[in-house]
Amino acid sequence: MFSNWRINFLLVFFILGGFLVIGRLFFWQVLSFDELTAMAEGQHWISFEIPAQRGEILASDGSPLASNEEAFLVFASLPDIKDDYNELAAKLAPILEPENVATMASLIKERLSRQDLVWVPLKHKVSRQGKSQIEGLKLSGIGFEEEQSRSYPEGSSSAQLLGFVGNDVNGHEKGYFGLEGYYDLELKGRPGMLQREKDAAGKPILVGEIKKEKERQGRTLVTTIDRTVQFIINEKLKEGLARYGAVSGTVVVMEPKTGAILGMASLPNYDPGKFFAYDKSLYSNPAVALSYEPGSTFKVLVMSAALNEEVVKPETRCDKCTGPRTISNYTLKTWNEKYFPNSTMIEVIQHSDNVGMVFVGERLGAEKMYSYLQKFDLGQPTGIDLEDEASPKLRPRNEWKLIDLATASFGQGIALTPIQMIRVVVAIANGGKLMKPYLVKQVISEGEKTEIQPKIEREVLKPTTTSIMTEMMVNAVDNGESKWAKPKGYRIAGKTGTAQIPVAGHYDEEKTIASFVGFAPADDPQFVMLVLLREPTSSPWGAETAAPLWFDIAKEIFTYYGIQPG
Amino acid sequence: MKKKICKKPKLVIFIISLVIVLSLVQLTISYWLATTGEKMRQWEEKTTLLEQQNKILSEEINRLGSLARVNEEARSLGLVKATNVLYLTPQIPVALETKKLPEAR
């Protein structure tokens, strides 16, 4: 009896002990499996990251707009330094930061004095010449590590279009704004990993296993940008700003059949290679981010809508164009206070007659006007492949009053972006198709090429409407206020615009946004172009500033494309 | 007893010969490995150098091919833009022969 009790006690003890052991084993081998495996791998493997090269951004002819250059990280191995820190800083600072020697010298001294480190970085992205100069000094303890720096061979001419490459919060390279920002994931690729077995001292085992995960180089983007067109518009815009005393300006050139952007330039701009030296307000691209009231250029949309709905015809006469119109206590006038009673719709566009456009707006009605604004995608982004695109909201239909319909008919009280405005005119130039504007036409990834096809969003106008509208715009150029500047022998369809700038609830009396939008040759459009000048001082009118600049650029494009007069 | 003595030198000679032959083979292989390794190192060095030169040349092409630089260079050489372009288009005759007339008989 006594012996049985002892045996039973031992039996229970061993069973419980067994369960405890099994439980503990289960904890380590099943529950903690992942954690322990990771710890074991961490002790057993040494890893090196193989950086991926950032993809290039090419112009349509294959020449680089953004590329990579070899650069170096200069570092100091503190135990190997034999020179005096002050002396070392005095030698290195003028090479590493020639524009700010004193600050660089103190930074070097501060980093060299760190007691808790053995390796300190001194400067990233040092050029090859800089490296050679430092090597010439024969300093012990100073080393180099290869890295890449982004280069922009065409300088600042496409700054806002391309964006730039900076560092994110973790110090990794990241594209910001423009194409660099929009296509950052595609451009940066994926770094590879090299893992080698290491011994207890942490040194690689020569005959040990090696695991290699290949890096994936960044994808190369082939854009629709014609770099000659880009160069022309940038140079001409520079001249235009100086000639007309404008604060800023934007030029966009599009291919009407595809919606491809051929050129896009804005001034003032910045050097994307030294973006940090410029004001942040210059980073975003006004061509896609600037919200402005278009003024008279918007008349082509309203007139097209009215023609498309057959509420007016080119020969329809305005019976309310004898003088200023008063709507909801507001008096609406023409830009030069000249009035043309019984003028036809052709003449309304030719004279850029605000009162005539109010007549057109009334014939169209608020419902149809609003539906056309929606058809043209106003109030929402165009979907262009640029990071900084913004879109002013379209006021809800139920908030529209009589005066809103009247002012919107001549392009005031409604805001859009330059890319939205040019897209409207592209639809008139190509027979009524609303195109999605795009910049990248091909993506190259490790030899594989992916083509990006043009996209028609929808048909917004009938071809007969666009033919009539084109003729009205040709007439406006041939007989309008800017006819003196038009290149001889070419049929150009266009429209000037002078919009007042809203400031704190009212319109500024002095400041305007002058613009001209058009396409050529009118019978077989090769390009659509928008020129926009902010606050020109030589004259506030689009016909005297933006229009001559448009014609000036067009002349060069005609020569470049070999477009002959006639 | 005599027979046993006679057999041993043959085995010894065979073993010594085998050792000599294997040593020579090892020496040859080691030599071959060493020289091939050195050649590979030289080729790798050459490849790295060529890759680096290629990179430098590409960067130089990018720099020199920039339109801004070409424009500046052209200006410094005294070249000017064509401001008055004349297109030479053949004049269309007043009457075009589109169909051959029947021959007079």
Per-residue pLDDT of chain A (566 residues; tens, 9 = 90+): 456 888 889 999 999 999 999 999 999 999 999 998 888 877 777 777 777 889 999 999 999 999 998 888 888 888 888 888 888 888 888 999 888 888 888 888 888 887 777 778 888 888 888 898 998 988 888 888 888 889 998 888 889 999 999 988 887 889 999 999 999 999 998 888 877 777 776 666 656 677 888 888 899 999 999 999 999 999 999 999 999 999 999 999 999 999 999 999 999 999 998 898 899 999 999 999 999 999 999 999 999 999 999 999 999 999 888 888 888 888 888 877 888 888 999 999 999 999 999 999 999 999 999 999 999 999 999 999 999 899 898 888 888 888 889 999 999 889 999 999 999 999 999 999 999 999 999 999 987 899 999 999 999 999 999 999 999 999 999 998 888 889 988 999 999 999 888 776 777 777 899 999 999 999 999 999 999 999 999 988 888 999 999 999 999 999 999 898 87
Where exactly are the structural domains of chain A? 71-146, 227-561
The residue type of A58 is L
Which residues 18-57 on chain A approach chain B with CB closer than 8 angstroms?
Answer: none
Residues of B in contact with A564 (CB under 8 A): 87, 89
Q: What is the pLDDT of residue B105?
A: 45
Which residues 348-387 on chain A approach chain B with CB closer than 8 angstroms?
Answer: none
For B58, which residue in chain A has the nearest alpha carbon?
A69
Q: What is the pLDDT of residue B91?
A: 63
A329 interfacial to chain B (CB closer than 8 Å): no
Q: What is the pLDDT of residue B3?
A: 52
Q: What is the pLDDT of residue A208?
A: 67
Which residue, among A330, A307, A296, has the nearest Cα to A496 in the 3D structure? Answer: A296
Q: What is the pLDDT of residue A100?
A: 85
Residues of B contacting chain A (CB within 8 angstroms) = 52, 55-56, 58-59, 62-63, 65-68, 71, 82, 85, 87, 89
Residues 6+ apart with CB under 8 A from A455: A259, A435, A436, A438
Q: What is the pLDDT of residue A323?
A: 85
In the DSSP assignment, the letter for residue A42 is H
Q: Do the chains contact at B65 and A63, CB–CB below 8 Å? A: yes
Give CA torsion, residues A61, A67, A70, A71, to 10 deg.
150
Residues of B in contact with A558 (CB under 8 A): 85
- Are A478 and A390 in contact by the 8 Å Cβ rule? The answer is no
* Locus of tokens 């507001």: A330
Residues of A in contact with B64 (CB under 8 A): none
Token couple for A500: 């007042």
Helix boundaries (H) for A460-511: 463-479
Residues of B in contact with A64 (CB under 8 A): 62
Q: Do the chains contact at A153 and B65, CB–CB below 8 Å? A: yes
Please state, rounded to an integer, the average pLDDT across all residues of chain B.
81
Q: How far, in whole angstroms, is CA A257 from its chain's centroid?
A: 22
Q: Do the chains contact at A64 and B62, CB–CB below 8 Å? A: yes
Give the gyration radius of chain B's Cα atoms. Answer: 43
For A58, which residue in chain B has the nearest alpha carbon?
B62
Q: Do the chains contact at B63 and A67, CB–CB below 8 Å? A: no
Residues of B in contact with A154 (CB under 8 A): 66-68
Q: How far is A452 from chain B (nearest CA, A)?
A: 26
Token couple for A110: 């501060």
Mutate to test the interface with B, among A156, A556, A557, A561 (most CBs of B within 10 A): A556
pLDDT band with cut points at 50, 70 and 90 for residue B7: low
Q: What is the pLDDT of residue A355?
A: 92
Q: How far is A451 from chain B (nearest CA, A)?
A: 25
Give the gyration radius of chain A's Cα atoms. Answer: 33
Residues of B in contact with A565 (CB under 8 A): 87
Residues 6+ apart with CB under 8 A from A76: A111, A112, A119, A120, A122, A141, A142, A143
Which residues 180-239 on chain A approach chain B with CB closer than 8 angstroms?
Answer: 227-228, 231, 235
Q: pLDDT tens digits for B15-43?
A: 999 999 999 999 998 888 878 878 888 88
Q: What is the pLDDT of residue A257?
A: 95
CA-CA distance, A52 to A191, in Å (whole number)? 5
Q: Do the chains contact at A231 and B65, CB–CB below 8 Å? A: no
| CATH label, A71-146, candidates 3.30.1330.10, 3.30.70.2110, 3.40.720.10, 3.40.309.10 | 3.30.70.2110
The number of residues making up chain A comes to 566
Mutate to test the interface with A, among B48, B69, B87, B92 (most CBs of A within 10 A): B87
Which residues 529-558 on chain A approach chain B with CB closer than 8 angstroms?
Answer: 558
A132 interfacial to chain B (CB closer than 8 Å): no
For A129, which residue in chain B has the nearest alpha carbon?
B56
Q: What is the pLDDT of residue B104?
A: 43
CA angle A280, A286, A288 (to 5 degrees): 120
ipTM value > 0.95: no
Q: What is the pLDDT of residue A204?
A: 63
CA-CA distance, A491 to A563, in Å (whole number)? 11
Token couple for A118: 């053995």
Mutate to test the interface with A, among B48, B59, B61, B81 (most CBs of A within 10 A): B59
Query: Taking residues B44-68, what's their average pLDDT?
Result: 89
Superfamily of domain A227-561: DD-peptidase/beta-lactamase superfamily (3.40.710.10)
Residues of A in contact with B65 (CB under 8 A): 63, 153
H, E, C per residue of A434-462? EECCECEEEEEECCEEEECCCCEEEECCC
Record the pTM.
0.81
Residues of B in contact with A155 (CB under 8 A): 66, 68
Q: In angstroms, what CA-CA distances link B62 with A155, A271, A338, A409, A471? A: 11, 16, 55, 49, 44
